[in-house]
């Protein structure tokens, strides 16, 4: 099978399909503070993310399932339960020093208080450990809003050797996302007109009806969006959720799952699908996270310097492809073949039908020689007897300059 690189743990490329296996809901996996609210809103499918239950579908077949959720995300405003983005706090006199030792870019130059950054953390071999949003909420306090892998234990292990003066702990802070074209008027209704002045990836610490929150101008959708990080979340979760839902009715708000169709269109990567510990940032479109001029040492620096010099043998590329519309999460890493459909060369990590592109789109790992834009390939879809045609396409597929989340329209050149 085409693994695309020698891995210590090979990617499971068996095409096992979806057998409608029921997920056991029990006490071993954590239920977030918003879990019961997701149940109230009719959650139909969940996965496990950061050892927590994570909603992946609310809409019924009559509501057009994930495509119906996509419609409300791209036309109105939506509320997401994303408490699985667990918050790992690093706080103390040496907090900045610790953060700069684990993040590939220079946070001393890029991270004032009340600023957020999308960052990556790598191990000593250059493998991506996590790609969180980093929030600086005080001079001596940072939160890592983590993707699907454990940072708290890794941080504690590192500091056994470093012995820096920091506290490392998960905290009682749980985010929701408010995403879609009407996100800004809804948030202004809740928090005041000043929220319209927030720049992309800036933070605002404020309160709502006595609830303490940190708002970030960020999101996983490629649309206008905000994340609301609720302090004391086990206590105040119901109040925050119900307040947002009620205020959003005039904007046709719907509770939906995180919009993976839209995030693929926007070229947003999903940890565990599109990258993992055996993937380095030069193999996926994250080479911009490598700062070759960063003077301070950090974990993985030597490996990333070497990889930057030597190059890589495979790339994560975008594909547009034929076949029937892909309307559900790909349950396997579908195989990618060369143009003949006979020789396996790679595998798809994420795929969906894109309403904006009016075709199936995917992210896929292929050897570097197949990564040039316009290269003809083919993909084995489960419902098709023979591989369907595919072509390497630019990523992001839509709104390449990310004007939409900044409040503009594709084709504009906005700053922020």
Binding site feature residues = 227
Beta bridge partners of 80: 177
Distance of alpha carbon 54 from alpha carbon 74, whole angstroms: 22
The three-state secondary structure class of 283 is coil
Residue 177's nearest CA partner among 218, 138, 149 is 218
Count, residues in the chain:
416
Q: Which residues have C-beta within 8 Å of that of residue 123, sequence separation ≥ 6?
A: 129, 277, 299, 300
Tell me if the bond preceding 396 is cis, omega within 30° of 0: yes
Q: C-alpha angle 50/199/274, rounded to 5°? A: 35
Question: Is there a contact between 243 and 79 (Cβ–Cβ < 8 Å)?
Answer: no
Binding-site residue ranges for substrate: 227
Question: Is there a contact between 207 and 65 (Cβ–Cβ < 8 Å)?
Answer: no
Q: Which residues have C-beta within 8 Å of that of residue 22, sequence separation ≥ 6?
A: none
């Amino acid at each position: 099978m085409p693994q695309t690189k020698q891995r210590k743990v090979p990617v499971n490329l068996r095409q096992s399909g979806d057998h409608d296996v029921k997920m056991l809901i029990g006490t071993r996996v954590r239920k977030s503070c918003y879990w019961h609210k997701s149940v109230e809103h009719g959650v139909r499918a969940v996965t496990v993310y950061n050892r927590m239950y994570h909603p992946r579908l609310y809409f019924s077949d009559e509501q057009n399932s994930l495509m119906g959720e996509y419609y409300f995300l791209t036309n109105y405003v939506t509320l997401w339960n994303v408490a699985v983005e667990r918050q790992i706090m690093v706080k103390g006199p040496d907090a900045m020093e610790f953060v700069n030792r684990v993040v590939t870019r220079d946070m001393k130059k890029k991270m004032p208080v009340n600023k957020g950054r999308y960052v990556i953390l790598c191990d000593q071999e250059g493998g991506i450990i996590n790609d969180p949003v980093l929030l600086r909420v005080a001079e001596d306090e940072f939160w890592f809003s983590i993707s699907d892998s454990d940072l708290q234990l890794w941080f504690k292990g590192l500091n056994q050797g470093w012995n820096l003066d920091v506290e490392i702990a998960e905290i009682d802070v749980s985010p929701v996302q408010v995403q879609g074209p009407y996100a800004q008027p809804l948030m202004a209704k809740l928090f005041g007109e000043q929220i319209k002045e927030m720049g992309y990836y800036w933070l605002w610490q404020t309160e709502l009806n006595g609830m303490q929150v940190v708002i970030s101008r960020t999101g996983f959708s490629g649309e206008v969006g905000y994340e609301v990080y609720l302090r004391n979340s086990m206590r105040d979760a119901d109040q925050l959720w119900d307040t947002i839902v009620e205020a959003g009715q005039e904007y046709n708000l719907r509770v939906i799952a995180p919009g993976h169709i839209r995030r693929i269109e926007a070229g947003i990567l999903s940890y565990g699908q599109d990258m993992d510990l055996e993937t380095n940032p030069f193999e996926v479109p994250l080479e911009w996270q490598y700062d070759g001029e960063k003077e301070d040492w950090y974990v993985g620096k030597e490996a990333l310097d070497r990889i930057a010099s030597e190059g890589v043998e495979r790339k994560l590329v975008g594909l547009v492809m034929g076949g029937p519309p892909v309307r559900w999460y790909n349950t396997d890493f579908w195989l990618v073949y060369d143009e003949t459909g006979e020789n396996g060369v790679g595998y798809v990590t994420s795929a969906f039908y894109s309403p904006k592109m009016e075709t199936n789109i995917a992210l896929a790992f292929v050897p570097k020689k197949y990564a040039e834009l316009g290269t003809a390939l083919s993909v084995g879809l489960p419902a098709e007897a023979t591989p369907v045609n595919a072509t390497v396409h630019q990523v992001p597929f839509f709104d390449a300059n990310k004007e939409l989340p900044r409040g503009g329209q594709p084709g504009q050149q906005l700053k922020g």
